[in-house]
Amino acid sequence: MGLFNLFKKEAKNSQIVAVCTGEYVPNDKISDPMFAQNMMGQTLGFEPADGTIAAPCDGTIESIFPTGHAFTIRMTDGTGLLVHVGIDTVKLKGEGFTLLKKEHDKVKAGDPVVAVDLAKVKAADLPTTTMIIVAEPVEGKSYNFIDYGPVTAGQQISR
């Protein structure tokens, strides 16, 4: 019985959750071809309804851009994820972004990592589409996700 609980716990810790409340969208709704065509890895797009961007999994933040527009996180199962907030938002040079976590912080799925002023991003005429990229998949592991539609930050999206 203990062995089954161990596997159940491990599976839970390797789940991916929505990074924001909003809409989980198909890749053809992502305006940047680099992300839309999965050039950096399997990509999931979200249209955020508010400015809180959360950790997509349990793990450790390996890097976080000082501008707040992107961060990487290593899942407890070894998967490397990139979260990119908006498209071309690096151009804002951090304006409208507040870091809530720092490099090497351990996080739980759904913990807030970055706060972004979506109105400021939109005023700069930049898309707010936020992506999770499976940049470093674990060999032999498949990554499957729920159907597109409304999501809540912290909601499990992996199957």
CB atoms < 10 A from the CB of 84, how many?
25
> What's the rounded Cα separation, in Å, for the pair 15 and 87?
25
Query: Each residue of 35-45: pLDDT tens digit?
Result: 999 999 999 99
Q: Look at residues 46, 74, 66 and name the one whose alpha carbon lies nearest to residue 136.
A: 74
pLDDT tens digits, 41-75: 999 999 999 999 999 999 999 999 999 999 999 99
pTM for the model stands at 0.91
| pLDDT at res. 13 | 64
CB within 8 Å of 135: residues ≥ 6 apart = 40, 41, 72, 80, 81, 82
Find, among 44, 41, 38, 39, the residue nearest to 22 by Cα.
44
- Catalytic residue selected from 84, 85, 89, 157: 84
- Specify whether the CB–CB gap between 111 and 69 falls below 8 A: no
Active site residue 69: no
Segments in the chain below pLDDT 70: 1-13
